[in-house]
Amino acid sequence: MSTLSLHSLTKAFNESAVIRDIDLEVAAGECVAVLGPSGAGKSTILRLIAGLEPASSGTVALGDRNVDGVPAERRGVALMFQRPLLFPHLNALDNVAFSARSSGKSKRSSRLHAQSYLELVQLGDFAYRRATELSGGQAQRVALARALAAEPRVLLLDEPFSALDPQLRGEMHSLLRQIRRELSPTILLVTHDQHEAAVLADRMAILLNGTIAQIDTPHHIYTRP
Ligand code: ADP
Ligand code: ADP
């Protein structure tokens, strides 16, 4: 896993800046949560890092590599959204193997690899279940396994648990904490949920009108006004 560095990152749509001159360093293995009201620019930051949208100015670097001209599929970034977006006609294993395959593994090794990631998300026994036959919580676990199986340099999570009920959300929080201990992925997590940010992230960044208004550990955010 790599560091993620944003330097003077700016994005304007129709001459109106939605991301303004953002500097941010996420250390290898760190999890930073981005919190902020709707329209603050949270999803836009993830889209710029993933290369789904070109920046107006500034740079995105992964490790010591500037990825500004690099197309999305070659950045080594995995995204996970509120909805799992699995291929409905494929089973859980093939959904996960597909992403392992796109990172260059052979068919056989990507299936073995996929099985181990399904076990990591505690769905080892559901490998041959079609995506359409999984519950919402199971599908979201498969989506997490798929993102991890790509072995990305950075994992970008956009409101990944906000469609789940409180109990499932709590289970996903425990799972993500376990994955952080075992694999130490570098994570940028967008969420509306302050509790989620505080339990999952090493630091919280508060985004207001396209700029980081405050960034600190959860402890300092809540104890230093
Ligand atoms: P958040 O994720 O914090 O809700 P977004 O990043 O989705 O915020 O959006 C930030 C602002 O940028 C919003 O005002 C949104 O309408 C605007 N925006 C996002 N994408 C586009 C686009 N492709 N064209 C024009 N405006 C956009
Ligand atoms: P969220 O609130 O979850 O960030 P949105 O519904 O704001 O998501 O945006 C969903 C998609 O629509 C994104 O791809 C975003 O870039 C695009 N989008 C958002 N606002 C606009 C806009 N004003 N004009 C064009 N595209 C937009």
Residue-wise pLDDT for 144-154, tens only, equals: 999 999 999 99
Residue 183 makes CB contacts below 8 A (sequence gap 6+) with: 1, 148
pLDDT, tens digit, 9 for 90 and up, residues 181-220: 999 999 999 999 999 999 999 999 999 999 999 999 999 9
Place of tokens 């709590």: 170
Ligand 2 test: best mutation among 35, 42, 43, most atoms within 8 Å of CB?
Answer: 43
Rounded to the nearest integer, the mean pLDDT of the chain is: 95
The pLDDT tens digits of the residues spanning 43-72 come to 999 999 999 999 999 999 999 999 999 999
- CA–CA separation, 85 and 139 (whole Å): 9
Residue 115, ligand 1, Cβ within 6 A:
no
Which one of 34, 38, 44 would you pick to mutate in the ligand 1 pocket, going by the greatest count of ligand atoms within 8 A of its CB?
A: 44
Strands 203-208 and 31-35: parallel
d(CA 150, CA 105): 10
* Distant-in-sequence, close-in-space partners of 139: CB < 8 Å, separation ≥ 6: 84, 86, 131
* 13 CA closest ligand 1 atom index: 25
For atom 26 of ligand 2, which residue has the closest CA? Answer: 13
